[in-house]
Amino acid sequence: MWWVNFRRLTKASVLAISIVVSTAAAAEAQSTDETATVNTTVTDGRAAIGREDGYSGTAGTGGSSGSGGGGGSGPRCTYAATSDGSWHETEMGGVVHRLFAETCDGSVRGDVWLPIYTPADVLVMARQQIERTLPEPSPLMVWPDPDYDWAYAQVPIDFRADASQWRVFQDTVTASNPLQTVSVTIRAEPAELTLHAGDPRGVESASCGGQAPLAPYVPEIPGICSYTYVNASSTARNGRSFVATMAMSWDITYWSTTDPGFSGSLPSVTRETVFPMEVAEVKILGKTIVP
């Protein structure tokens, strides 16, 4: 089998969707053969979980979380309405914060703004995390001519995905504090591998999914992931190579273990890699035999 990995052979231009977000999260990655799982925890030293009418509860600085109290060492604190009896709210960093009067071990410490996380808040973090995790595809092409690494016009060319990329990625993000824990898991499942050929006179693209991007190469039979160039790349603008693009997309779903009613799907995420594609023209010389 003759594979060419363009990520190693060329200085390819990379087009990718990326969102860079600064969070106070620590990520711990764990990998398996099929699924990459990342657990991210966002913590706040002091916390509040709020009902619509406010919340008054106690929490220790360590130990397990609970409704109204938490075990562990350190001062035990209560959170109640502020001295004027009102519940004040504001938004900080996209998360609603509520103003609480904090009392620890019987001593009033003053008013503090505490985050009130919702599954929707944590989903935003999870979406950002999965988008940072998903890789740009490494184009794998199968050349009919392994001696010269040439593809030929009018001859099917198979393309594949790297097994380390064509798989499920799964992240779990947890926002927690002594009184509140909100977790959201987000899952990206590979959906489609597409080769945009770059030949303006040929078929625009070819796509495949399922297990086809990882299927073994069979020289006698073009795979589901294959494309046939109509023209040689000498017809390209630069006179040498087509500008091809390999695109890999994932379907995105999510759910919350702390709120079973919170689940659904998000728009798919696509990563793209641009690379040069050289295609030769096949010329067959025949000889007329006169009987």
| pLDDT value of position 164 | 96
| pLDDT value of position 34 | 41
| pLDDT value of position 93 | 80
| pLDDT value of position 87 | 74
Compute the distance between CA of residue 6 and CA of residue 170 in angstroms, rounded to an integer.
27
| pLDDT value of position 39 | 52
The identity of residue 21, as a single letter, is V
Give the global pTM. 0.70
b (16+ CB within 10 A) / e for 230-263: ebbbebbeeeebbbbbbbbbbebebbbebeeebe
CB atoms within 10 A of CB 22: 7
| pLDDT value of position 102 | 82
pLDDT by residue for the chain (291 residues), tens only, comes to 444 444 433 322 222 222 222 222 333 333 333 444 445 554 443 333 333 333 434 443 333 233 333 344 567 888 777 777 677 888 888 888 878 888 888 888 888 887 888 999 999 999 999 999 999 999 998 876 666 667 889 999 999 999 999 999 999 999 976 667 899 999 999 999 999 999 988 899 999 999 999 999 888 889 999 999 999 999 999 999 999 999 999 999 999 989 999 999 999 999 999 999 999 987 654 444 455
| Residue 110, SS3 per DSSP | strand
| pLDDT value of position 179 | 66
The identity of residue 75, as a single letter, is P
Which backbone phi and psi does 7 adopt, to 5 degrees?
Answer: -65, -30
| pLDDT value of position 94 | 80
Compute the distance between CA of residue 67 and CA of residue 77 in angstroms, rounded to an integer.
13
Compute the distance between CA of residue 58 and CA of residue 70 in angstroms, rounded to an integer.
7
Residue holding tokens 């309405």?
81
Residues, the chain, total?
291
